[in-house]
Every structure is written in structure tokens, then in C-alpha cells.
Structure 1
Amino acid sequence: MSRSENSVAAAEPPHQGCASAQTLTPAAPPAPLTGLALEPRPCATRPAASFRRRFYPGVTAAQWNDWRWQVRNRVTNLTGLARFLRLSPSEERAFSAHSGKLPMGITPYYLSLMDPENPEDPLRRTMVPTWYEAVVSPGESNDPLGEEHDMAAPGLVHRYPDRVLFLATGFCSAYCRYCTRSRMVGGNGHGMARSKSDMERAIAYIEATPSVRDVLISGGDPLTMADDRLEWLLDRLRRIPHVEMLRIGTKTPAVLPQRITKDLVRRLKKYHPLFMSLHFTHPAELTPETAKACARLADAGIPLGSQTVLLAGVNDSVPVMRKLMQGLLQMRVRPYYLYQCDPIAGSGHFRTPVSRGLEMIQGLRGHTTGYAVPTFVIDAPGGGGKVALYPEAVIGRQGGDLLLKNYAGETYSYPDQGGEWGPAAC
């Protein structure tokens, strides 16, 4: 593969496709969709192969399975989308303006997993813009986590004492409508990979900061970068003596599993200890193609953890969440974080009450293996970092005993002589 061929994804900017919150003013906010999470349809009802034969009859299996073909043929506008889906009025209206802050981009593979008739299809809701994005609720902002405030160098967020977030690119092969970093992927930047000079400045900061032992490479999606560019970055970071571990945050195995090639994995495994945080949303993403991609990464010795955002009407029911978490374990992906949806501008129709997240954890804990129970966190607005939340388990004291509530709601006592623990300490 030539260098020019290998640079397709890094060089191709996303197209603008949805309306911005500043240009749209709906008459009333949408009705809440909480609790409508749907059970996934069996994969066999709409396999990618039959989708390809129907909509891409001239495309070979080899082309379809080439990640660069998938990126080049992303659906990015209303005309393209209407070819595959029967659009709802809310979806159509989202395209009435073409200067949207967050572009639309969906790989043909990921589109093949969506129900073409149902606008409430979970995967479709996460990728297809709707008019509801125009509703900006109180407390929402374009940078809710205050990352710009903690930028130590271009694209480098230093918030925690011993680790940094390296935003290597603003490009994704598919754009989640609740994206926390939508500010990076739209506008004049077009979501391109950072310049080499910017990366060098970020690397220089890490080299000059011995307290940094952990670097999380994210974006955008760093696995959309060309192999050579990604390996250059990994190599530079691995040469820094005090950097003990590298992590990559990506949604690629879910939306573009074809990207996890043997050559990519061969390169990645040279930089251990290397971890990956994979973004999964719904059990419908757990396809044979995704299982193959995760198997390649796991077989290369790369520990895989999942990060899931709790989304109203998408995955906010215990049966759906349990099926997702158990399915991930089958693919050797350890559930890591369940995130409360960040208050990004225009995301109110996705956010659930915090109590719903606690219900998810309560419905998992004790009802499935502990490995399948993620930590529920809120990334505190304004740069406070991740705050873990747990269902209340300590309910009081009785003499010298601590009173505990188990997964079934039953109360048990533990002899905790001299302990100071109480409900307020939870």
C-alpha cells in the first residue's frame, strides 16, 4: 500500500450536513424520549452483505471491506441519506440549513445496521441529525468540560496530575450527534488531523513534564489517521522515558471495523503497554465484523475497555444495557465507563435524569457478572473531571454493625467495630 493510499482518511474532510443551533428556532422543545430504548433486531435480518448487494451492486466484497472505501463513500448529506432511509419530518428539517456546527458522516457499513423505516431506531438516532439539535437547554455549552481552559499545548489537555489527553485529530468516520467535541469537527477546521508542528509542541510539553506517565490519544478518532502518521505519534510518545502507558480512544470497531487490519494491529502491538477505550452504544453494534476487529486487537495483547454514553431512547433500559455489556464481554471488551451524557449544546433530547444511570447500575449489579458492570460517571462540567456515582448500599448503623443493602434490596449487617461509616459517607 502506498503512502498516498494510506492517507485517504486523514486527508478527506467531513462534509457539512446538519443545521446549527444558532440558525434554527423550533416553536417548542421536543417531547422527552426517555425509556424508548429498543431491543436490537437480529443481525441476520439486515446483514451488510445484502445491504451492499441492494444499494451498491457494482461494489465488490473486497471494496466493501476496504476501510478507505468506506470512508470515501460516507453518507454526508440529505440526498445521500434519503437513498437509504425513509426520513422523518424532524430528520428532513435538520437539513434546512447547511452551515451546521456538527457535520453528518455515516459509513455505509454502519448505515447497513439501521432500520430504514423507523426514525426511533437506536443507531439511527445517534447518527442522523434531527431538528431537536436546535434546542439549546440551560447549562449546555459548546465546551461543557472546559477542555479549552486546560490546553497546555495545541490539542493537549492536561487536567489530571499524571495524565494528558492528546487530541490528535478532529476527524471521525462517523459523527455521533451527542459529540462532546463537536466544536472540533465543524467550522473552518474541517476536522482534519493536527499539523505535525502542533503535535511536536504537544510532545515537547510532555517531554518537559515528568509527572505525565499516561497519554490518552483521542480526537476525533485517531484510528482514522494514516498508519504511518499514527505510528509516528506512538513512536515519539513511547520514546519519552516517563511515559509509562499509552491509550487510544476510538469508536472505529463499531462504525468502521474494516479499519482494524492485520497491518494496523502489527504496528500497534509494538508499543505496549497500549490500551484501547472503545465507544459502544447499543447491542446492534455487536456484529460479526466488530467481533473480528476486537478479536484482532485482543489477540495482539491490547486490553480493551468500553465507554458507553447513556442516551434516552437508545440504551436507557436495563435489558438493553445488560445485553450490551454481556455482549462486549463475549468480545473480550471489559465494560469500563457508563457516562452521563455531557451537556453539549443541543443534546437535551439525549440526556436522561442521573437517577436513570443509577437504575442501570442497580439493574446490572448482582444480576450479571461483576465484569459486566461499568462505573457510572459524570464528567463534571467546567473541568472538574470524572465523578463516579453508585447506588446507595450503606443505609446506616445498628450498634456496632454497618447496615448494607444488597442487589435484591435486602438488608444485611456487617460487624464494623469502631467504624465511622454512615449514609452521609456514601
Structure 2
Amino acid sequence: MAIFPMPPAGFDPEEKRRISLERARELKERIRDYLQVKDKILTGLDLAEPLEAAREKILAIFNAGKEQWADWHWQMAHRITNVDLLSQIVDLTSEERQSIAQVGKRFRWAISPYYASLLAVDSPGGPIWLQSVPQEAELNDSGGSEDPMAEAFTNPAPAITRRYPDRLIINVTNQCAMYCRHCQRRRNIGEIDRHQPREVLKAALDYIRANPEIRDVLITGGDALLLSDRCLDWLLSELDAIPHVEIKRIGTRAIVTMPQRITPALCAILEKHPPIYINTQFNHPLEITPEVKEACDRLVKAGVVLGNQAVLLKGVNNNPHVMKKLNQTLLRIRVRPYYIFHAKEVKGTRHFITSVDEGIEIMEKLRGYTSGLAVPTYIINAPGGLGKTPVLPRYMVFRDDKQVVFRTWEKKIISYPNHH
């Protein structure tokens, strides 16, 4: 095992510059493979014109105008839920039509008109397609669990999920703008969209009041932002009035699947209740569009802190270059990459699951190769509701009471004193 020492002192300025230039060339070579492909990994920001054309086509199908497109209530009321309507937006083979219809008998599906515009510029089997269009593989999945995180056993009060000492979840709805094909809570998606009744939310709040160690509350679902503005304002006000609740978090994918939800009125409400952290789920650069950027700009101006929780999905983003482009583009719209989740063993979704080795390889190609801000934590949710477990490449090689030996992102081995 070769140990790399620190450079010796005493070099003259010319020699230092020579070494610096040589090092710069070496660093540039390390990202040559990414530089060769990054411009071929398109973002939604690159496709503004094709997306506009797709939007016009969809509006013509619905005989609607731009004012309706911008209305999130219209988007919700016109979700695509049948094969005939979907086939007017994208070309479907007879086999695909049959497959979608078959899957729909067992697993609910719905796609917002907005997300369908992304689907129209993607290719069949592409990252947008895989996340939104039902696949026959969903029916061929004989394994997996309806509830791999055992949420039914971490439910000490109505609408509450608690897996950690100082924080918990309020599940406020089963409704989403789109029912993602990899959804971890697809067991909650019935034929009817339901928000939790006010009485249930009051019981959840009572539990939080009675447990003063709870300092962090995550409002999620379904999609928390599909609650009405009035209900969100009430719920956030109730949490503000609990002295030991320090921060509120909101879990939503509406920013990605229906950015029209991020209205000035909603942002005015959120601005009243700091500190608020919103975590969303972008899984591919194509999902970052001009409309998404506009929504994120509104949220940031309202004082909301934005984070992203990507899911590692086979065929969508299990590629180091795609994940790097995703995270770098997220930073451009002021969304901090927070987690990459290893896909859970949810029944009907296991065709999305990659190997853990693929996740570690992606982390190897992020750490050191791009800004630390663009490096999320790779997480495996321990089965049975035992919580998030970070998974890292092996950087620590050896440790005793005198020294630690570790490897750098370039796989160079370094000895470092282990001081007491």
C-alpha cells in the first residue's frame, strides 16, 4: 500500500508553477469522460421550444388556453388517466396500449398535463416515460412488500409516522399530481383521492404537543402541497404555536410534476411561517424546465429552503454522468441535492432497483469530481422502519490510536495523525 507524503518544502516559484500546471492538466483529464457527454445529457431548460410545442398540442386536445394551463386546479382536473387520451399525446403501439390498460386494472395511474408535456419530448422507455407510464413489469413483480418501511408499525397516533427520536411525519393526503411508477406508498393510492379529515390532523397535533422532544415536523403524503392554501395555513399556524417545534418541512413532488401549484398566494402563506424546508424529488435533468425554475425562484424569494431527494432508478438515473448533470443543474435553480435514496423493495416497483454497487460508483464519481454542494448522501432505508442509513465508498482504510490511513477521492492513500 503506497502512502502519499506531503510535498517537500523548498521549491522555487518556477518549479511550483510547473507542478501546479501539471496538476491542473491531471485534474482536467479526470473529468474528460464527463466533458465528452455532458452536452448530450439534455435538461428541460435546453428544451424550452419543444416543451412549448408539446404544451400547445395538449391544450388543443383539451380545447383550453394558457390561462387554464397555469391553473393548478385545471391541471389536477385534467390528469391523464386513460390510454385513449394518453395516445393522443404520445404515440403508443398496440402492445403498449394493452399493457397500460392491464396495469391500470391493478395499479392506479395518473399524469398531469404538465408532466405529459415532458413525456411528449422524451422517447419511449426514456426517463420521463419510465416514471410516469405504467409498465408490464409492474405486474410481473412477484416479490417486494406493500409496506417495506413498516409504517403501519411506526404509527403511534392518527396520521403520524415516527421513526426517530426528535422528529416525525404527518401524512396529510394520499393525493398526488402524478402517481409515479416507483412510488413507495402506492398502497395508499385508492380509487378516491382523500385528504385527512380535520379531526385526524387535530389528533396528530395533539400527539406532537404531548411529546416535547419533537422539534422537527415533516408534512407529507401523498403530496402535501395538494392541500388547499387555507388548510396549509391553518396547519402551519398550529405547528408555529407549539413551542418545541423548531422547524417545519414539506414533502412534495408538485414542483416537478405540476409547478403551477407554486402560486404567489401559496408563497405568501409559506413566507408567514418560517423556517420552512421543502424537499422535492427530481430524478432526471429533463425534469428541470423553465416552469420549474420559475416555481423555485418564487419559493426561494418566500424564504423557503429547497432540497432534493432523488431516488436511484434503473433506466432513469443509474449513471454517474446523468446524476452529476442532475445535481449541478439543481444548484443552478437553487435546489440543494440532499439525498439519493436506494429504491425500496416495494411490490410492483422492483424493476427499478439497481445494485448497491451502482449507487456507490455514482458517489465515487461525485465526491471530488464536482462541488461538495452537488454531492448528496446515498441512503438505504433499513427494512422494517429502522431508518435511513448512509452508504459511502470506503475512505477509511485503517485506524488505531496513533494514526488513521484513508484514501482520497482519487484513491491516493494518506496517513494522518490520530491525535487525542
Query: Normalising by structure 2, what TM-score?
Result: 0.86
Residues 68-83 of structure 1: pairs in structure 2 closer than 5 A: 68-83=73-88
Structure 2 counterpart of 1:73, which letter?
H
Shift in Å at residue 49 of structure 1? 2.5
Cα distance between partner residues in 2 of 1:90 and 1:78: 9
Establish whether residue 162 from structure 1 lines up as the match of residue 166 from structure 2: yes
Query: What residue number does 1:5 align with?
Result: none
Establish whether residue 123 from structure 1 lines up as the match of residue 125 from structure 2: no
Q: Deviations for 1:41-91, whole angstroms, at most 9, x for unmatched residues? A: 664375332123223234221111111111111101111111112225356
The range that moved more, 405-414 or 375-384, is 405-414
1:143 to 140, 147, 167: 147
Query: What residue number does 2:9 align with?
Result: none
Could you tell me whether the CA contact under 8 Å between 2:103 and 2:136 is conserved in 1? no
1:299 to 298, 301, 315: 301
Q: Which runs of 4+ in 1 moved over 6 A?
A: none
Could you tell me whether the CA contact under 8 Å between 1:110 and 1:256 is conserved in 2? yes
Q: Deviations for 1:236-293, whole angstroms, at most 9, x for unmatched residues? A: 1211111111100111111111110111000011111111111111000111110111
1:184 to 185, 188, 205: 188
1:47 to 50, 70, 78: 50
Cα distance between partner residues in 2 of 1:385 and 1:95: 36
Could you tell me whether the CA contact under 8 Å between 1:265 and 1:296 is conserved in 2? yes
Which secondary structure state, in structure 2, belongs to the residue aligned with residue 284 of structure 1?
helix
Residues 386-401 of structure 1: pairs in structure 2 closer than 5 A: 386-396=388-398, 400-401=402-403
2:110 to 105, 119, 133: 105
2:101 to 92, 95, 119: 95
Cα distance between partner residues in 2 of 1:401 and 1:97: 57
Structure 1, gaps ≥5 residues long: 1-37, 419-426
Specify whether residues 144 and 400 from structure 1 end up closer, same or farther in structure 2 by C-alpha distance, changes over 3 A only. same
Shift in Å at residue 191 of structure 1? 3.1
Structure 2 counterpart of 1:228, which letter?
R
Specify whether residues 239 and 41 from structure 1 end up closer, same or farther in structure 2 by C-alpha distance, changes over 3 A only. closer
Which secondary structure state, in structure 2, belongs to the residue aligned with residue 83 of structure 1?
helix
Cα distance between partner residues in 1 of 2:396 and 2:404: 7
1:359 to 358, 361, 371: 361
Could you tell me whether the CA contact under 8 Å between 2:103 and 2:134 is conserved in 1? no
Equivalences, count? 377
Establish whether residue 402 from structure 1 lines up as the match of residue 404 from structure 2: yes
Which secondary structure state, in structure 2, belongs to the residue aligned with residue 329 of structure 1?
helix
Shift in Å at residue 116 of structure 1? 6.1
What's the Cα RMSD here? 1.9
Query: What residue number does 1:286 align with?
Result: 288
Structure 2, gaps ≥5 residues long: 1-39
Which secondary structure state, in structure 1, belongs to the residue aligned with residue 235 of structure 2?
helix
Query: Based on CA coordinates, which of the two structures has the bigger radius of gyration?
Result: 2
Structure 1 counterpart of 2:111, which letter?
I
Which secondary structure state, in structure 1, belongs to the residue aligned with residue 351 of structure 2?
coil
Structure 2 counterpart of 1:141, which letter?
S
Greater fraction helix: 2
Residues 209-288 of structure 1: pairs in structure 2 closer than 5 A: 209-288=211-290
Could you tell me whether the CA contact under 8 Å between 1:145 and 1:379 is conserved in 2? yes
Shift in Å at residue 410 of structure 1? 1.6
Which secondary structure state, in structure 1, belongs to the residue aligned with residue 339 of structure 2?
strand
Could you tell me whether the CA contact under 8 Å between 1:71 and 1:173 is conserved in 2? yes
Which secondary structure state, in structure 2, belongs to the residue aligned with residue 56 of structure 1?
helix
Establish whether residue 376 from structure 1 lines up as the match of residue 381 from structure 2: no
Query: What residue number does 2:156 align with?
Result: 152
Specify whether residues 61 and 415 from structure 1 end up closer, same or farther in structure 2 by C-alpha distance, changes over 3 A only. same
Structure 2 counterpart of 1:202, which letter?
A
Structure 1 counterpart of 2:198, which letter?
K
Query: What residue number does 1:20 align with?
Result: none
